[in-house]
Amino acid sequence: MDVRIVAQDSDLCIAIWQQTVIHIWRGQPTVESVAKMVGACNGLISSSRAPVTCLGIVERGSPPPEQPVREALAHWSRDVVPKMAGAVIVAEGSGFRSALVRGVGLALTTLMPHRIPFKFVSNVDEAIDHLAPRLPVASGGAPMLRKVVEHLRSSTPSA
């Protein structure tokens, strides 16, 4: 399993597998943590010859971002996501909180339409299925990305 962890603590895990940036949010997102995620995305985009994808997972226990963090995420959505082949954000959980995360995502994608597939979904399987056509088959494709996500989740300390 060829995965490189860029940043990891009880609130966040940022990793790179092949041409995919994976970010898992467990705790309170901060402007600094978004900057680390943006740096990982930009670094992979600039160093890669192959198309880059992004998988973000907002776990049910992660609180909604505050205004400065939402602004940083909007800049990422506007400035970085269009350089990718695909990006998917998973809003885990049910009810109001999940709907809130998807609502913010819908607002971002409506106000700033993207030329690439940029989706907000409710579970990891749906996200990986969406990214599957853009994943390197020789490296294991969608099944390997599922294993990588499981590995990262199990090795990240709880918030």
Instruction: Answer yes or no: pTM beyond 0.75.
Output: yes
pLDDT tens digit string along 118-154?
788 889 999 999 999 999 888 999 999 999 999 999 9
Q: What is the 3-state secondary structure (H, E, C) of 14-68?
A: EEEECCEEEEEECCCCCHHHHHHHHHHHHHHHHHCCCCCEEEEEECCCCCCCCHH
Instruction: Report which residue type is found at 112.
Output: M
**What is d(CA 23, CA 16) in angstroms, rounded to the nearest whole number?**
9
- In the predicted model, is pLDDT for residue 2 greater than 70? yes
Q: What dotted CATH number matches 3-154?
A: 3.30.750.24
Confidence of residue 73 (pLDDT cuts 50, 70, 90): confident
Q: Left, alpha or beta for 112 (phi > 0: left; psi -120 to 50: alpha)?
A: beta
CA angle 61, 79, 147 (to 5 degrees): 45
pLDDT tens digit string along 85-125?
999 999 887 665 555 555 555 555 554 555 556 788 889 99
